[in-house]
Structure 1
């Protein structure tokens, strides 16, 4: 089971990095970062970022840790516009 979870996480990470690298739209004038959603898993945050904002520039979409790291960590999705 752990092998499947690791493979899934690795695949999602590779997909996230690939999507960010392939995003080629020009940067828009942006004002600030806007919170979109909160997730319990980093992979869930990345999956939402790819499925909903996959065509956006990597500098306009990000997943970040909420606060400092702790065992029940949450992650937030932000858009820069």
Structure 2
């Protein structure tokens, strides 16, 4: 019986901790990531982002691989607004 009680307490504590983490996240808004352009290299994508958006915060721009990785991979620039 003690094991069941301990497991129940542990489960409730985990649930409460998870709820606290979810409550701390901001509510969904109209802002999201938008595709902007395609580049041949990651460095080219970063350079373009730096030159085109010099005053933007770094956390609002990202370069990611498009699709699955391959030797002729392209990279996409995404903007958060």
Q: State the TM-score, normalized to the length of structure 2.
A: 0.60
SS across alignment from 2:56: coil
TM-superposed deviation, 1:30? 6.0
Gaps of 5+ in 1: 1-28
Gaps of 5+ in 2: 1-28
Give, in whole Å, the separation in 1 of the partners of 2:70 and 2:47. Answer: 22
Give, in whole Å, the separation in 2 of the partners of 1:49 and 1:38. Answer: 11
Give, in whole Å, the separation in 1 of the partners of 2:49 and 2:60. Answer: 11
| 1:21-36 alignment, distance < 5 Å | 31-36=31-36
Bigger CA radius of gyration = 2
Q: 1:30·1:80 contact (CA, 8 Å) conserved in 2? A: no
SS across alignment from 1:73: coil
Verify: 1:78 aligned to 2:71, yes or no: no
Q: Match for residue 60 of structure 2?
A: 60
Verify: 1:47 aligned to 2:38, yes or no: no
Count of residues in Structure 1 that have an aligned counterpart in Structure 2: 53
Q: Match for residue 4 of structure 1?
A: none
